[in-house]
Amino acid sequence: MTTAAASWLPLSPGERAVAIEVLVGGPLSRTDLARRLDLSAGSLTRLTKPLIESGLLVEADALAESRQGRPSQPLDIVAESRSFLGFKITEDAVYAVVTTLRSDIVARHARPLTTHEPARVADLVAEMAAELARAHPRSAGIGIGVGGHVSDRAVVGESPFLGWHDVPLAALVEERTGLPVVVENDVAALVEAETWFGAGRGLDRFVVLTIGAGVGYGLVLGGTRVRAAEQDRGFGSHWIVDPHGPLTPEGERGSALSLLTVSSIRYQVGAATGRDHGYEEILARADAGEPMCARVIDEAARALGTLVAQIANFAMPQKILLAGEGVGLMDVAGNTVRDTIRRLRHPLADPVALETKVSDFHDWARGAAVLAIQVLVLGADR
């Protein structure tokens, strides 16, 4: 980490609140900032002074205060002042992005993963980090997202996709790069990114549901992600949608995992036809009315609608974001999903605000970069 970035730490709770408010909602006048944080003018001055002196906050061009009619210099963050590296490690590739302090992606990179040996994976991450840092030299830290259980934002306790157990990934990458590293479950990282800078920005109750290689779920209450030990331990494998549903190699019979993941959908079609079909091909065949593909996709759509309705009934979120590489399902069978939601909701219930985000693995890497911003720059709780 650079000296200037290091000078931002440690932030007091009050300074952290100011920095986060400006980062997520800025530029903000001092009047707006004081009102949002319920601070007096004097307290705000005391908290912002060290942040301005350290270079984390800057005084932007003057704004007109509508209430007083006098110009006021709003506070903002120079988003390009630092770069952050985000990585998403999948079973067969490593995806990387470079983001600004406000998580805008300015560079993308991907390399195939030919081994799951932890030291070799750390070598590859370090090589990619060095390559990206040459073009973006003001790198302040690294975030890494992994499917599985992560403890202390440093150790991959278990990752079924990689076959890892108790791998100190943060330490391995820090040794090779000299940069601070934060590691987190990939869904948790995506939820944080969408809460701060995406679909959940400014919402009190927000849910992220992902379908793809697995089924992920993240809940935000009071604007803060709810942490739960089970959410990164194969959550979807025991979420039973239809006890008489299909039995696949992954997940319990009729579980979200057996009905909705890309591999399970491919397995069901392959078992019935004797041929291996790609996910996009299955969607296209279902859309064209091919009976077997249409049956599997229709069953998956009804399962997805059931999940969304259950979430809406119990968590009562203001919005549900559907993301992941499997969301192409909505393009083909979105009407079935929506019909199922309506059928399983009270007739007088408000419509579910369902937003679909077609995301690739670089979006997941961006989520990891946001974790780096939160933890390494703002000193958020590890």
Tens digits of residue pLDDT in 88-99: 999 999 999 999
Residue ranges with strand state E in 27-186: 58-59, 63-64, 71-72, 75-76, 83-89, 93-99, 105-112, 139-146, 149-151, 155-159, 164-167, 181-185
Going from the C-alpha of 196 to that of each of 36, 251, 269, the distances in angstroms are 16, 32, 39
Spatial distance between the Cα atoms of 211 and 331, rounded to a whole number of angstroms: 14
Residues of the chain with CATH 1.10.10.10: 3-77
CATH of domain 204-317+326-358: 3.30.420.40
Residues of the chain with pLDDT under 70: 1-9, 61-72, 229-235, 377-382
Selected from 3.40.50.1860, 3.60.20.10, 3.30.470.20, 3.30.420.40, the CATH number assigned to the domain covering 81-192+363-377 reads: 3.30.420.40
Spatial distance between the Cα atoms of 217 and 232, rounded to a whole number of angstroms: 9
Question: What would the pLDDT profile of 51-74 be if each residue is shown by its tens digit?
Answer: 888 777 888 764 444 445 544 678
Contacts of 160 (CB under 8 A, 6+ apart): 147, 148, 234
pLDDT at 232: 59
Spatial distance between the Cα atoms of 191 and 197, rounded to a whole number of angstroms: 10
The conformation of residue 28, written as its DSSP 8-state character, comes to B
Domain made up of 3-77: CATH architecture: Orthogonal Bundle (1.10)
pTM of the model: 0.84
Do the beta carbons of residue 364 and residue 144 sit within 8 Å?
no
Do the beta carbons of residue 94 and residue 128 sit within 8 Å?
yes
